Amino acid sequence: MSLGLQSFSTVKEAEAALGAGARYLGGGTLVVRGANEGNTSFWTMVRATDPELSMIEIAYGTARIGASVTMAKVAAHPDLAAIAPVARAVGGPAIRNMATVGGNLFAPAPYGDFAVSLLALDATVQAGGRDVPIEAFLDARDGNRSIVSSVRFNVPKPEAFRFVKVSRVKPKGVSVVSIATLLDMDKQGKITAARIALGCMADRPIRARAAEEALVGKTLSADGIADAVAVIGEGIQPITDAIASAWYRAEVLPVHFRRLLLA
């Protein structure tokens, strides 16, 4: 069966067209790639052209980013400087002009580095008109039949948010591992709350809960983070691909986590 594209002006109409054999088309870096590779599980691509999907709104410290906003647009937005390095870590310039925030939520490891940071930021995903916490969204994404219209999160203070994408090819290469952390600290530098998200440590971004708990009450010193580094690998099931084996990824995760926290 030959491929076809159906375009709709609203998300609602597009959602109604997402039946069997249909995939929602964002920037094309996953779906058209799949079609080019001979993925025959879909034959219809569906897209919505609603301009709302391409908007970035920032008010009272909360960012709402439309699902069709590209990585390049995130990287260039003056009020999103804290997460611009994450957007810049995705692909090369052409990919960043195409790949969308919504699409990144569905990108299988080793892709999906932006979604790793959204998980650390405790983003809310608006899908099918409902607000879903990102963790629940990622868990259930395989069965998702609704269209993501936006993601929402509190823009982190630059000093509270850290991100690293480890690649073997510089400056561009897919992830060996990516790590995003959001740390609240009191005036004495003691960590009061921590969220840590990992990429490539499962087929989708996951949280490192044991390490999060181990960081609370500690400071960002070699001694303070030792317990968290020791348990960062708890619950991981890293992927194996041409870039690195699961064993290698598990071995280097604590090294890069430690470096990120002490940077």
Partner 1 sequence: MAKIPVQFTLNGEDKAEFVESGVTLLKALREKIGDTSPKGGCQQGTCGACSVLIDGELRLSCLTLAETCDGASIVTTAGLAEGGVMHPLQRAFLDGFATQCGFCTPGMLMAAKALLDRNPDPTRDDVVEAISGNICRCTGYEPIIQAVLSAARANSHQVA
φ, ψ for residue 187, nearest 5 deg: -65, -25
Nearest to 255 by CA among 183, 176, 184: 176
Q: Is there binding between residue 168 and partner 1 (CB under 8 A)?
A: no
Min separation Cβ 59 and partner 1, Å: 27
Residue nearer to partner 1 on the CB measure, 71 or 119:
71
Q: From the CB of 43, what's the least distance to partner 1, in Å?
A: 8
In angstroms, what is the minimal distance from the CB of 56 to partner 1?
17
Return the closest-CA partner of residue 256 out of 166, 158, 121: 166
Q: Which of 58, 95, 160, 210 binds partner 1 (CB under 8 A)?
A: 95
Please give the distance of CA 127 from its chain centroid, rounded to a whole number.
16
The pattern of x and - marking residues 30 through 69 that bind partner 1 according to CB under 8 A reads: --xx-xxx-------x-x----------------------
- Number of residues binding to partner 1, judged by CB under 8 A: 26
| C-beta contacts of 24-32 below 8 A and 24+ residues apart | 24/147, 26/67, 26/68, 26/99, 26/100, 26/102, 26/103, 27/68, 27/70, 27/98, 27/99, 27/100, 27/103, 28/98, 29/91, 29/95, 29/98, 29/99, 29/103, 30/103, 30/106, 30/107, 30/111, 31/103
Beta-ladder partners of 7: 47
Q: Of these, 39, 40, 97, 192, which contacts partner 1 (CB under 8 A)?
A: 97
Check residue 100 for interaction with partner 1 (CB under 8 A): no
The least CB distance from residue 167 to partner 1, in Å, is 11
Between 66 and 91, name the residue whose CB sits nearer to partner 1: 91
Query: Rounded to the nearest whole angstrom, what is the least distance from the CB of residue 48 to partner 1 in the complex?
Result: 12
Which parts of 196-235 interact with partner 1 (CB under 8 A)?
none
Query: In sequence order, what DSSP letters do the residues of 5-72 get, joined into one string?
Result: EEEESSHHHHHHT--TTEEE-SSSTTHHHHHHTT-TT--EEEEE--GGGG-EEEETTEEEEETT-BHH
93 binds partner 1 (CB under 8 A): yes
The reply to whether 157 sits near partner 1 by the rule CB under 8 A is no
> Does 94 engage in binding with partner 1 (CB under 8 A)?
yes
The CA R_g of the chain, rounded to the nearest whole Å, is 19
Task: Report the C-alpha gap between 100 and 96 in whole angstroms.
Answer: 8
Task: Out of 172, 193, 234, 247, point to the residue binding partner 1 (CB under 8 A).
Answer: 172
172 vs 259 by CB, closer to partner 1 = 172
- Single out the residue of 11, 15, 24, 25 in contact with partner 1 (rule: CB under 8 A): 25
Which residues contribute to the site for partner 1 (CB under 8 A)? Answer: 2-5, 7, 25, 27-29, 32-33, 35-37, 45, 47, 72, 91-95, 97-98, 171-172
